[in-house]
Structure 1
C-alpha cells in the first residue's frame, strides 16, 4: 500500500515525466491548426489559404532544444545549490512561464521565447527527475520505478495527441490554445508536489543532515525512521558518498582519455543514430505531414501512432535483456528500414492514391512499433550504460547534450526537406530514412557491444581488453563458459571476476 506521502511524491515525479512526453506531441498538433497557421503563417493566394513556412516550423520546433541544452547543462550546478526539490520548483516555474507565453498567442518572437523557456524546464526535468527517482527508490523497487517512468513518458505523448484531436474542431484559437495550456496543470502538480515532497536523502547526507535524510527515506519508503530498511539505506548512502570522496573530483576530460573515449563515443553517437532513424520526424511533424499527403483525420493518425508507441514500449523491458541489445537493434532496424522502403516504393508506383496513403499510415505504424520495442529503449540504455562508475554522470551529460543538439539539427532540417515550398520530398522522404537507418545499422554492428547480463566490472573488462563490438556476445558467453556458472546468479560474481582476470592475463601473454 502507498502512503499519502508516496502518492504526492510519485504524482510529482510522474507528472514531470508526462511533461517530457507531452512536449514531444503537443506541437505536432498545434502546427496543424488552421487558426495557428493563419496567425503565424503566410498566404500565397491573397488570404484564401494560409500555411507555415519551413523557417517558421523549424524555429518553433527546434529552438526548444536551445533551452533544453541550457537546462541540462545547468542541472548539475542547480542541484548542488538548491537540491532536487528546489530544482523541481525551478522546472515548474520555467515551464509555466514558457507555456503561458505560448498560449497567449502573442508575437512571433514571443512564441519562440516561450518555446525556449519551456526547453529550459524540459532540459532540467530530463536530468532531475530520473536522478530523484533513483535516489528515492529502494533497490527492490528501482527497476520497476524506472520502467514505469519510461512508460509514463509515452502516456504524456498520448495525452497530447488526444487533446489535439479533441480540440481540433473547436472555433478560433481554442483549437490549439487549450492543448498548449493543459501543460500548466501538469506544471502546477509538479510545483505543489515539490513544495510538499521531501528532499533527496542523498542530497541531505551530502549537505551533512543525516537526521533529515533518515526522515526523508522513511517518507519515501513508508517506513518508520527506526526501521531496518531505513538504517540499511542510510549506510548505503554513507558508503557511496565516502567512495565518491575517496576518488577525488572527476574531470570531464577523463571521458575522452584511454578506453573511456570509446565508451563516450558510443553513448554520444547513439543519440545521433536514434535521430537518423527518423523518429523525430513522425512525432514532431506527423500531423502536418499527413495533412500535406492528403490523409484525412491526420490528428487521429497521430494519436494512433502515440498509442502504438506506448503499447510496444512494454515488451522492450523483457526483450532488451532476453535477446540482448544488439539483437534488438538489428531486428528493429531491419523492420523500420523495410517498411520505410515499401512506403516509398508504393508511393513511387501509385502516388497520391488511396493505396499509397494507406501504406503511408501502415508503414508509420509498423515503424513506430519497431522503434518503441527496440531502438527507443536500447538507445537510452546505450547512452547511460557503457561508462565506468566513476565517469557515469559526466559521460551521460556529454551524451545528453549531444543528443539535444542533434535533435535540434534534425528538427530544423526536416521541414526544409519535405515542404512543398522547399525540398518538396513529400512521401519520398521515406527513401532518406531507408538510407539513414541502413547507416545506423552498420554503425550498430561495428560499434555497439553486447552488454546484457554483464556486471559493471565485466563491462570495464570488455573495454579494457578492447573487445570488438561484433565479438562481444561471443566473449560474454566464453566468460560464462570458463566460469561454469550462470551469469545471472548473484553468488557467481566473484568467481566470474576471478576467471575473467585470469583470461585477461592470458590474452596479454598471447
Structure 2
C-alpha cells in the first residue's frame, strides 16, 4: 500500500469530497499555529522590544521587557484559548459546528486587530486574549467537525491533518518573522500580525459553503438535512441503500444514547465516560508536557541566549522538520494504528530529550552576568540535531494523534462537551508552561536559571507518556464512531483492544428493543382481549334474558371466540428435547421471558390457566389478610430471600419471584455478619453466621463455562446463566448487566484440582473439635444461668419488693 490513499472496496461512495471538505476545515489549524509561532520571533525583534519596553534593560544594555512581561504576553493567548475551548461545547450544540466556526473567526479577527494597532503592552495583551479565545473555539470545533464527517477508514488521516495545518502555520510564521525581523519600523511586527486576517477570511468564506455535519443534524432531529449532508459528503444519491444504512446507524446510536438519559456536563463523568474523559485530558496534557511548546514559544530566544547565531534560521529549520515529519505520521495513524505509533513516538521523544539535556548541561557554562559560554560547539550542533529528531518523533505521533484520539473516543451526546474539556486541558497546561518557562529558564533574581536542564523535565514527562499509552490508549483503527463507543463498553483493558472486533450494530440493538416492546404490547393486547371476553361471558350468564336459547347462543359464541383466540395464539413452548438433560445435569431449564400476569400479582386472574402470561407460585407465608386496597398480598409478600442470590448469582435476575435483598426477617443467614464479618448480637443471634473461610472458593473454570473435573472439583460450582446479548456479540448494559454473566476465557487460570476425600482420622479430628466447641457452649450457658439466678434478674425483683414495702 505504501503511502497511497486507497479507499477500501467495501466503503461506499467517493472519498475525495470528505477528504477535501475536512482537509479545508483543518485550515483552522493554520490560525493556531501561525499565532503561536509568530510570538516567539516578535518578542525577539529589536524594534518591538524598544517599542513595548517599560524601561528595563537586559544584560547587554538593550531595552527589553522583563521576564514577568514575557510570561504574560506569551501565556495570555493560552488563557484565552482555555476559556474559548470551554465555550466551544455550548456554541457547537446550539448554533452548530459550521456557524460556530464562523463566529469563532470573528472573535479571532477582533484580537488580531487589537494586536496590530497596539503600541503598549496592555492593548497588546487584550488582543492576544481575544485572539486566543477565538483560537480556543476553533481548536475544539475543527476536530469535532472533522471526526463527524470523515469516513472511518481514513478518519485518523483527516483529523490528524489539523495538526499538519498547525505545523504549516508555524512554518509560515517562521518564514514571515525571518523576513521582517531586521526592519527598523513597526512593520517588523505588524506585518506578521496582520497576515492573520488573510487566514481568517479564507476559512470563513470556505466554511460558509460547506455542509453541516450529519451527526449534528440528527441530534437536532433534522433527518432530511442529515441525508442531504451525508449524500454531499459521500457523493451518493439520497436513495442509495448504503447511504441510508450509514445514516440509520448514526440515528440509532443517537436514539440509544438519548434513551440513557440527559447529556449535561455531569454525564461526562459517569460510567466509562469518566475513563474516556480522563484519557482525553491526559493525552492533551502530556502532549504539552513533552516540551514541544518550549521550542515553539521560546525556541528563538533560547537559541539566542545559548550563543547560537542565526537563531531565526535555526527556528525555521526546526519548523521545516516539523512540517515534513507530520506527513508520514498521518499515513501511519490509519496504517499501523494509534497505540503503536504513540508508543514508538514516546520512546523516541524520551531518548532525544535525555540526550539534549545531557549534552546541553555538560557543554555550557555561565559567567557572572548570566551569559552563556559555549564550551563545545560541535556538541551544541549535536543537541540541535537531536532537537530535530525529537521534533520528528513528536510530529509523526503525538502531534496529530492527540487530536485524533480525543475526536473519536466520546459518544455523540457528550462529544462536544467532552472535546471542549479535553481541549481546555491542552490550553490550561499550555498556559501554565508558557507562563512559568521564563522563570524556569532565564537568569536573574527569582528565576530558576535551569537553561538546558529544563530538558530533564521534558524527559521525565515523555517517559510517563510510554506508560500512559500502554495502559490507557485503546486501538480504534478502522472503527466507526459508533463502534468505538461499543469498544469502550465491552473492553475494560486497553491492552486487549487491538484484537477486538465489532459485533452488533446499534440498528440491530434498537430493532431488538423495538421488537421486544411490540411483543410485550401484543401480549398485553391479547390478555386484555381475553379478559374482555371473560367479562362478556360473565355478563351473558348473569343477564336475565327472556330466552334460554338466546343466552345459550351468546355463551357459545363467546366460548368459540376464546377457543379460536387460543388456537391463533398458542402459548410459547419452552420444553425442548434437551430440556430434560438441562434439568437433570444442571438443575434448571431455560429461563422464560414471558411476563408475570399483572392481575395474578394483584391477587386473582380470571383467565386462569388460559392466561398467556406467567402465574408464578413461590413459597409464601400463609396469610389470608388483604392490603388496604382490598386485594390479596403481592407475589413477593412474605417470600424468602432467594438462595441463589445469597450464593452470589441468580439466573433469573430481576424476574425472580423471591427477594434479592438482605432482609433479616426473610433470610436464613445473618445479613450483618455476611456483609462485615461482625454481628452485634454475637452468638445470641437468631440467624446463621457463615464465616468466609468456611465457604468453598468459586471455580474460575466453571464461571467461564466449563470445568473438566465436574463434581469432583475441589472448588464451588455456582450455577449461573449467561447473558444472551453477550453471547450474541454485544450487551449494551456492559458491566451493569442484569441479564446474566459475561464470561471471558483466560489462559492464565490455575489448573483445577481434584477434591480430596477426607480420611477417617480427619473426620474424627473434626468431630472432636465440634464436641469441644459444644462443651464450651454448654459451659457458657451454665455460667449465664447461675449468674442470672444469683443476681441479675432475681436481685432486681428483690429490690423492687423492698422499695414497694
TM-score computed with the length of structure 1 as normaliser: 0.83
**Is contact 2:154-2:334 (8 Å) kept?**
no
Which runs of structure 2 are paired with 1:416-495 in the superposition (5 Å)?
Answer: 416-421=439-444, 422-445=447-470, 447-452=471-476, 455-456=483-484, 457-463=486-492, 467=493, 472=495, 475-476=496-497
Which runs of structure 2 are paired with 1:97-112 in the superposition (5 Å)?
Answer: 97-112=110-125
Whole-Å separation in 2 of the counterparts to 1:275 and 1:364: 16
Which of residues 17, 24, 48 in structure 2 aligns to 1:36?
A: 48
Superposed CA offset, 1:225-266 (max 9, x none)? 666676566545544544444333224334334444333323
Deviates more, 1:19-28 or 1:316-325: 316-325
**Is contact 2:140-2:423 (8 Å) kept?**
no
TM-superposed deviation, 1:386? 4.9
| Partner residue in 1 for 2:29 | 17
CA gap of 1:195–1:371, structure 2 versus 1, over 3 A, is closer
CA gap of 1:210–1:388, structure 2 versus 1, over 3 A, is closer
**Is contact 1:324-1:450 (8 Å) kept?**
no
Which runs of structure 2 are paired with 1:299-318 in the superposition (5 Å)?
Answer: 299-318=312-331
TM-superposed deviation, 1:203? 4.3
Deviates more, 1:182-191 or 1:226-235: 226-235
| Partner residue in 2 for 1:343 | 356
**Is contact 1:59-1:412 (8 Å) kept?**
yes
**Is contact 1:63-1:116 (8 Å) kept?**
yes
Whole-Å separation in 1 of the counterparts to 2:339 and 2:158: 25
TM-superposed deviation, 1:439? 3.8
**Is contact 2:254-2:412 (8 Å) kept?**
no
Deviates more, 1:222-231 or 1:308-317: 222-231
SS at match of 1:52: coil
Deviates more, 1:415-424 or 1:322-331: 322-331
Whole-Å separation in 2 of the counterparts to 1:330 and 1:7: 27
| Partner residue in 2 for 1:483 | none
| Partner residue in 1 for 2:418 | 395
Whole-Å separation in 1 of the counterparts to 2:258 and 2:728: 27
TM-superposed deviation, 1:335? 2.5
CA gap of 1:48–1:385, structure 2 versus 1, over 3 A, is same
Which of residues 42, 60, 63 in structure 1 aligns to 2:76?
A: 63
Deviates more, 1:91-100 or 1:121-130: 121-130
CA gap of 1:9–1:387, structure 2 versus 1, over 3 A, is closer
| Partner residue in 1 for 2:269 | 256
**Is contact 2:159-2:400 (8 Å) kept?**
no
| Partner residue in 2 for 1:164 | 177
Greater fraction helix: 1
**Is contact 1:276-1:440 (8 Å) kept?**
no
**Is contact 1:343-1:356 (8 Å) kept?**
no
Deviates more, 1:364-373 or 1:328-337: 328-337
Whole-Å separation in 1 of the counterparts to 2:273 and 2:19: 40
| Partner residue in 1 for 2:306 | 293
Structure 1's unaligned 5+ residue stretches are 481-486
SS at match of 1:32: coil
Whole-Å separation in 2 of the counterparts to 1:231 and 1:83: 22
Structure 2's unaligned 5+ residue stretches are 1-12, 365-373, 510-724, 732-739, 750-805
Which of residues 369, 376, 379 in structure 1 aligns to 2:399?
A: 376
TM-superposed deviation, 1:24? 2.6
**Is contact 2:26-2:162 (8 Å) kept?**
yes
TM-superposed deviation, 1:57? 1.7
SS at match of 1:63: helix
TM-score computed with the length of structure 2 as normaliser: 0.54
Whole-Å separation in 2 of the counterparts to 1:143 and 1:367: 22
TM-superposed deviation, 1:148? 3.5
Whole-Å separation in 1 of the counterparts to 2:322 and 2:59: 40
TM-superposed deviation, 1:365? 0.4
TM-superposed deviation, 1:126? 1.4
TM-superposed deviation, 1:431? 2.5
Which of residues 285, 288, 311 in structure 2 aligns to 1:275?
A: 288
SS at match of 2:183: coil
TM-superposed deviation, 1:380? 3.2
SS at match of 1:505: coil
| Partner residue in 1 for 2:383 | 360
| Partner residue in 1 for 2:39 | 27
SS at match of 2:422: helix
**Is contact 2:87-2:420 (8 Å) kept?**
no
